[in-house]
Chain A
Amino acid sequence: MVASTQAAAQLGSWLAPGYALFLCIHFLGVGSFAYIVMRRMVPLVRAQSDLRFDHPLERLGRVGKFWLGQWKHPRYKVAGTVHILFFAGFILLAMRAFTVLILGTSPDFVMPGMRGELGHVYEVVTDYAATVVFLCMIFAIVRRVVFKPARYEVPSKFGKAHKADAVFLLALIAILMLADSLFEAAKAAGQMQAGQIAHFSAAYSLPWLLKTVFVSASLSSIGQFCFAGYLLHEITFYFLLCYRPFGIQFHVETSLFNVYFSKLDREVLKPVRWDVSEENLDQLTSFGVKTFEDFTWKHMLDFYSCADCGRCSDNCPANAAGRPLSPRFLTIKARDYAFQHYPMFGPTGNGKALVGGIYSEDEIWSCTTCGACEEECPLLIEYIDKIVDLRRGLVDEGRVPQSLQKPLKALESRGNPYGKMEKKRSDWINAKDFQQTCRVKTLDKNGADTLYFVDSITSYDERMHSIGRATAKILEHIGENFGILGAAEKDSGHEVRRFGEELLFISLRDQNAEAIRASGVQKIVTADPHALNALKHDYKNVPPVEHISQVIARGVKAGKVKFNPIEGDKVYTYHDPCYLGRHNQIYDDPREVLDAIPGLRRVEMKRSRDRSFCCGGGGLMLFYEPKEEERIGVKRVRMAAEAGANVIVTACPFCMANIEDAIKVAGLEGKMTAIDIAELAEQQMVREIPPQTKSTFEMQAECVAGR
């Protein structure tokens, strides 16, 4: 106690000449920061509402996992580890930084509870923390300047590089750590000279190293070092505080809030407006995001929170294929817009259209809504909702690519994007050879327990008919009492909604939901993950829905489905469809089905499960003509080849369409094939009928399908 009082007196005598200056800097720093934050809040106040104040406990849990726990960071090993280290350092150092700041004007200040042994331990720990953070910064600077990881590069089409800014900020943090260490070292060196403490606890830490330099110096020079260290620390601290809101490090302040307010149900698409019910949508004068102010405050917070780490774009299939979309720059461009149009002084906002301004139409239509960016973002920034909102704005203004207008019009008039007649929706069940083995009833007159929701592509695309037939045969085999809606089924509207045509989606949804409820079924099965996602998350008050792979997996576990051994030496790989995997977390069931087939050799692609690489996009994306260097599907097929596979198993008809097309384009015809999991399961299924008869049927079926 005597020692610490003496130490405080010594510190007080060293810092006393600067009291007035320190106090000025405090007021200036805190005042400026408050003003800057207030100005940064201006667009958020003008923004659209967003429902983010519910479920506080769940949100706190997410803060614990994703913010404090840095959950997403280890997905990138090097950058992730470094971030975890200095994030932990910051958390530990936060209290010390405040304590140091206060010491400038109250040299005897001690944080409550930190007076005894705990304070000593904290001091030792933070000495090391400061050292670690310092080293991390040096490492990060070297990495940025010397090794230049590709994902930080800024293509010229997206603006100028942010490297200088990043390095400057990293250097400032290093300086802050140095200043802190200087101050601590001088303080300790002074105490040691005065004989108050015998040794410095945190051996080989940065303060320790500096202390060993100072300890032999005169007490007055140590005092000067202490003063300098304090002043440098204070200035750097406040400069950083006020400079961060102008660049990529604003996330230091916003990340906690961004994670707390992050979307809880990622699969559910944002409504057109949080504060307008569906019934009242007609009263809106404008739909979607047209100007910056049409974004919700949370989406603006996303823009502020982006750390420019590039992980989103690194995983984005559209970006990889050279489409004009990069999720990273979707955010960065919006932030630049916000900074430019909501400056620190002067008038704010200009109300100009975003698309045609900072974004191009093609950029907005290029997204496949695969969700890879959102899966990766350590800060839980949302992209799909923003893309859909921007599309809603484009649709509202009639700015829809010609290639999409035709299918949208057909969906409106006929309930399918092809413009085919409703009565032909169930043509696939009427093929003679199929009818001989499997009779599928339509639920207009007959009842059933289970509805097989087929959706448009499987109903109308001849190639996909075999997926529908395989699904029906499997359902029949496991003894489901099932049927289809036939002509009463409309497109699920999944992509209609994601392409921004909300009212058309509502109309399709209502027609389907009514037909489903009228059919009296207890549950729904589909082989189309897009339909699955729609029925599960976009529809309300419909029976529970499952994907056929889940049904098969359960059948396998229950012993209802057994497979014949697979012949040949083919190597299989499973491609996770985005709307089965990432959007609905069904990763294991399809793999279990494949692994239940005796003799099937399966390899994983480098990008699988939640890092699966999109096939190129389903639904209306099949009609859109993106500007791209290489097709997304071709990239995916090459990944399968790299993994050593020659059969790609999918679980989605859109994946099938894209992958089969891509196999041809990649020139891998004959070397690579694709098969749907339902087709494969049905083909290998052990049936009660003699295998001889079965194979004859199948050969016929294949002849027809192959035609």
Chain B
Amino acid sequence: MEILVCVKRVPDTSENEIQLNAAGSDIERDELVYSINEPDNYAVEEALQIVGRVGGKVTVVTVGNEDDEEVLRREMAMGANHGVLISDDTFAGSDGRGIAAILKRFVEQGSYDLILTGVQAEAGAAEVGGMLAAMLDYPFASLVSAIEVIDGNKLKISREIEGGNKEISEIDLPCVLSIQTGINDPRYVGMRGIRAVASVPIATYGVSDLGLDPNSVGAKAAKVQRIDYFVPTVGKGAEILEGSREENIDKVLELVAAKGGLK
């Protein structure tokens, strides 16, 4: 099975508070370190496990610039066979649709049975996989938490739905799946593995290599644009409720509901 995994390099912000730059146009990136988007890493591991079971090859692709080669190499150190960097100045400012359009052209140049993405990246949009599938007219499933290859042209998949329940479906190949974290236990990539692939060539594609219309991607084609970033104001210390227990319970229930918790 030929599997393509679309990955992204994102700032690792899990342990550090995010600061905004003065203009609010971006987060302060100087001191951030970048790594592979976590769900994408699960997707690569899943692809490797599928290939381990049924044979085939795994290609990882990212849309970005030369800095992003780092994550391609990391995934190749995990075991991916090929890394592909799609990079062009005209891609700057692309929205999800733009990225999907770029990937679509790349997919059409190859022959992939299965395309995986992580469920979402740092922006939490969860959009590119579904868009890519629609552009290719491939079936799509999001939040996939288990994959079983039934035969050469079908998969049995499990999706995470509400309450920890699992929705089981059958899906025709080729298809696009967005992979949920926790679907597997990704293998560790050590310094040694990364060094081993440090000089492996990475294929690079630009706008013309893909036969893309420059006007169909980038900021000018984007229907959605970010105006600015801002930090929601947070109060210091708890507001201590001084009422009676009954009043406090009512207040808590009201707050839980207001915060979107209570159904």
- Give the interface of A toward B (CB within 8 A): 281-282, 287, 395-400, 402, 404-405, 408-410, 412-414, 418-423, 501-504, 507
Do A419 and B14 contact each other (CB < 8 Å), given the known contacts A402-B185, A409-B35? yes
Judge if B31 is at the interface, Cβ distance under 8 Å.
yes
Do A420 and B35 contact each other (CB < 8 Å), given the known contacts A282-B195, A503-B195, A504-B191? no
Contact A400 B188 (CB under 8 A): yes
**CB of B88 to closest CB in A, whole Å:** 28
Q: List 6 A-B contacts (CB under 8 A).
A: A397-B187, A398-B190, A399-B187, A409-B35, A502-B192, A503-B192
Contact B15 A396 (CB under 8 A): no
Please indicate the chain A residues that have their CB under 8 angstroms from the CB of B186 in the complex: 402, 405
Contact B35 A396 (CB under 8 A): no
Contact B15 A410 (CB under 8 A): yes
**CB of B186 to closest CB in A, whole Å:** 7
Known pairs A400-B188, A409-B35, A419-B33 / 15 extra A-B pairs, C-beta < 8 Å? A395-B188, A395-B192, A396-B193, A398-B78, A398-B190, A398-B193, A399-B187, A402-B185, A402-B186, A419-B14, A420-B15, A421-B16, A421-B31, A503-B190, A503-B192
Q: How far is the CA of A405 from the CA of B188 in the complex (A)?
A: 6
Interface positions, chain B 171-215, Cβ under 8 Å from A, are 185-193, 195-196
Residue of chain A at shortest CB distance from B192:
A503
Q: How far is the CA of A421 from the CA of B29 in the complex (A)?
A: 12
Residue of chain A at shortest CB distance from B32:
A421
**CB of A353 to closest CB in B, whole Å:** 15
Q: How far is the CA of A400 from the CA of B45 in the complex (A)?
A: 14
Q: How far is the CA of A423 from the CA of B14 in the complex (A)?
A: 16
Please indicate the chain B residues that have their CB under 8 angstroms from the CB of A422 in the complex: 31
Of B16, B190, B193, B196, the residue contacting A420 (CB under 8 A) is B16
**CB of A397 to closest CB in B, whole Å:** 8
Please indicate the chain A residues that have their CB under 8 angstroms from the CB of B31 in the complex: 421-423
Contact A398 B189 (CB under 8 A): yes
Please indicate the chain A residues that have their CB under 8 angstroms from the CB of B190 in the complex: 395-396, 398, 408, 501, 503-504
Contact B33 A413 (CB under 8 A): yes
Contact A396 B192 (CB under 8 A): yes
Q: How far is the CA of A287 from the CA of B14 in the complex (A)?
A: 31
**CB of A281 to closest CB in B, whole Å:** 8
Contact A287 B192 (CB under 8 A): yes
Contact B35 A413 (CB under 8 A): yes
Of A418, A501, A503, A504, the residue contacting B15 (CB under 8 A) is A418
Contact A507 B191 (CB under 8 A): yes
Please indicate the chain B residues that have their CB under 8 angstroms from the CB of A502 in the complex: 192
Residue of chain B at shortest CB distance from A507:
B191
**CB of A540 to closest CB in B, whole Å:** 19
**CB of A453 to closest CB in B, whole Å:** 22
Judge if B12 is at the interface, Cβ distance under 8 Å.
yes
Do A501 and B16 contact each other (CB < 8 Å), given the known contacts A405-B186, A409-B35, A413-B33? no
Contact A398 B12 (CB under 8 A): no
Q: How far is the CA of A410 from the CA of B189 in the complex (A)?
A: 12
Please indicate the chain B residues that have their CB under 8 angstroms from the CB of A408 in the complex: 188, 190
Please indicate the chain B residues that have their CB under 8 angstroms from the CB of A396 in the complex: 190, 192-193
